[in-house]
A and B are shown apart, each in its own frame.
Chain A
């Protein structure tokens, strides 16, 4: 999807390892968010940000940290990975100041052994 870049696309971790999922956007959107998608389910909101320096929790925030130091980047950190965090992670952005839809990155497929 144009404008929202997620890296890496795939990652395998061992239990207890840490890692950061990257999300970058070039659309100057204020609103950014992270979702996880588990098999057979829709997406659930983990954390979101309405602008640089402002973050808040979504439905399933436990085990994840975020920060927003710039408008462009919104990394998601797993401090101590657990098998329950095996999922596909999506980053999304939206221009908060106009009536526009959310745009999603292509996702990061994360497996924790």
Chain B
């Protein structure tokens, strides 16, 4: 089946720092989502991005489908950015969602 790898697995930042999270995948996909799972366990949609670049405030995402990777940029990080970031691929005829193992981000004040 399709493989999804995220890096780094863990990341500790000081408040105000910038970071880049990466998602590599092994097969062509229909679409890709980035999620933030907050400390309460809720999954928050960040981006739905099959290709190109999107921005939402301090966050932006770029997907290069032909090279099978996506990047999530977090600028001027805040403590509320802490949590786990997942990429998930929409794959196959029924658009099953295949998750990566996530990046655990801790932003320290």
Contacts and interface: CB of A to CB of B under 8 A. Distances in A.
A67 B88 CA distance: 25
B99 A44 contact: yes
B96 A101 contact: no
A103 B45 contact: yes
Given A42-B86, A42-B102, A101-B33, A106 B97 contact: no
Contacts of A31: 94-95
Interface of A: 1, 31, 33, 35, 40-45, 48, 50, 56, 58, 88, 90, 92, 94, 96, 99-104, 106-107, 109
Interface of B: 4, 31, 33, 35, 41-45, 48, 86, 88, 90, 94-102
25 contacts: A1-B43, A1-B44, A33-B96, A35-B97, A41-B101, A42-B86, A42-B99, A43-B88, A43-B99, A44-B99, A45-B96, A58-B96, A90-B43, A100-B48, A101-B31, A101-B33, A102-B90, A102-B97, A104-B42, A104-B43, A104-B45, A106-B42, A107-B42, A107-B43, A109-B41
